[in-house]
Amino acid sequence: MTQAVTQAPTAALECRDLAKTYYSTDPPTEVVGGIDLDVRQGEFLAVMGASGSGKSTLLYNLSGMDRPTGGRVLLEGRDLTSLDDREMSRVRLTRVGLVFQQAYFLRTLNVRDNILLPALKAASGKRQAAEAAARVDALMERFGIAHVGRHGITQVSGGQLQRASICRALVCEPSVLFADEPTGALNSSMTKEVMDALTDVHSGGATIVMVTHDPACAARADRVVFLRDGRIVDSREFGTWSGEEAGRREDDLITWLRKLGF
């Protein structure tokens, strides 16, 4: 009888011996030191650690926002560290989605046009531009902000702006969505709005890497890694998120974090 072979999940993102050192200081400052990490296709990974542990620096190097000083980063098997600046810009535009603590929208454009802008930059021809506009409208409807599309960015709430940021990050259909403290500037109600949106994105099969200091947010992830002094010192698998288990998951995570001195 032939047994079925179970294949390991494909890695959407990998890094090997990833390092980032700033040589402008005396002595040089090592912020990330020799990290090996695989992010599985469709995984929601949260990165936690104390302030100054290297969380955001790791995310910027994984996403191509910054270049490491050592090691390799592979996105869909492509070595980002071998790309020139023009090639890297194209990857950031089309294969990577980014959500920051602040929205970084253009004040001269309304909400919808801010979401559409990167897709228009990536489009070649009227047909692709029209398809991009249709994706924007579908995303805004999906995340409950279609009614504020023509509003200026100062006329909407922080939660609506962050949901718009998620729409902008998804409009070019990236391989991985990166989020750096996406709820750091929000109150508890708006935080839930944004985390519900990210949970919805993940349930649709998206790969997400999120930096957060908030255990309630990290508890939504499939896996949490903990950084100290630029290195991963531990990780914890939580599996698929279930709202019914939210309290238990958060309690388990907090207990684990306390053991790590967080």
- Range of 151's domain? 103-173
Model pLDDT for residues 120-137, shown as the tens digit of each residue: 999 988 999 999 999 999
Band of residue 9 on the pLDDT scale cut at 50, 70, 90: low
Tell me whether residue 143 is in a domain. yes
217 and 40 in contact (C-beta within 8 Å)?
no
Tell me whether residue 124 is in a domain. yes
DSSP codes of every residue in 19-40: EEEETTSSS-EEEEEEEEEEEE
Band of residue 198 on the pLDDT scale cut at 50, 70, 90: very high
Residue 6 has pLDDT above 50, yes or no: no
Tell me whether residue 91 is in a domain. no
Q: Nearest 10 degrees: CA dihedral of 204, 208, 213, 216? A: 20
Tell me whether residue 13 is in a domain. no
What total of structural domains would you count in the chain?
A: 1
- What is the rounded distance in angstroms from the CA atom of residue 114 to the CA atom of residue 155? 14
Tell me whether residue 111 is in a domain. yes
Tell me whether residue 114 is in a domain. yes
Tell me whether residue 123 is in a domain. yes
Tell me whether residue 128 is in a domain. yes
